[in-house]
Amino acid sequence: MTLRWVVGGLSVVLGMGTCCPAALGAAGSSVAQANAASAMATFPAEERGDILMARGEYLAAIDAYKGAPPDAQVLNKTGIAYHHLLAIDLAKKDYEKALLIKPNYPEALNNLGAAYFAEHDYRRAIKLYKKAHDLLPDSAVIAANLGTAYFARGKYEPGLAAYRAAFALDPAVFDKDVTQTISGPTSMADRAREDFCIAELFAQSGDRAQAINYLRKALDEGFKDRNRLMEDQVFAKLRQTAEFAQLMAEQKLH
């Protein structure tokens, strides 16, 4: 049989050999999707773009944002969408356009810094992150990005200082999948040092589980300074735990 109905002026046709509950459920899902699409079409362009970004539909989000007034916020969001698609040059252009409209826009400065970071231009990334951090000192995300850029340049002391600032603002910042931090890749060795330093921060705060978690990451990424691990006073209490003994046993198996 053929099941036909009309939803919001849209004729939906489903060809079926027999009418069964599963088929009707699938049809109902199609109706719901059509209703959702129809409803979203009535939203302002920027709001549609935000919804599509949240779904990870970045190309569709870009198309939606292009229908909105091109203010600094919309241009920054379009840049983020391009950034997620790894179209770094296009992302940079939109961040730069946003900054022409609003020069002291910390989020756009942060994201432009992340674009330069992705291109391994760490010096310029640090400059942009520092400016963003000066404008928005309460942002744990920007402080963490700044620390990562310092690590990428081999500047471990300022990197750790930035990580401490980020941790003080939000201890969960290193575990968050935050869309406003788009950071580029670092080398495995740099990532290992970063994770070791994050483990120190968690150990100092008394969060044993997270300290072990980041130590495991650092070791898996190739952290080599075992003497530092076994002698660092920050880990003195941690070394007395069963969790630490288990971690060391795992590493020997590797």
Interval 163-172: pLDDT, tens: 999 999 998 8
In the predicted structure, residue 130 carries a pLDDT above the cut 80: yes
Q: How would residue 83 be classed by pLDDT, with cut points 50, 70 and 90?
A: very high
In the predicted structure, residue 6 carries a pLDDT above the cut 60: no
Query: pTM here?
Result: 0.74
- Secondary-structure class of domain 45-103 per CATH: mainly alpha
Q: How would residue 94 be classed by pLDDT, with cut points 50, 70 and 90?
A: very high
pLDDT per residue over 187-217, tens digit each?
Answer: 788 788 888 989 999 998 889 999 999 999 8
State the sign of the Cα–Cα–Cα–Cα dihedral 98, 101, 105, 110: positive
Q: Which two tokens stand for residue 139?
A: 């942002």
C-alpha span between 80 and 58 (Å, rounded): 9
In the predicted structure, residue 184 carries a pLDDT above the cut 60: no
Residues 6+ apart with CB under 8 A from 214: 174, 195, 196, 198, 199, 202
* Domain boundaries, given as residue ranges, for the chain: 1-42, 45-103
- Look at phi and psi of residue 121 and say left if phi exceeds 0, alpha if psi is from -120 to 50, else beta: beta
239-244 LR contacts (CB < 8 Å, sep 24+): 241/208, 243/208, 243/209, 243/212, 244/212
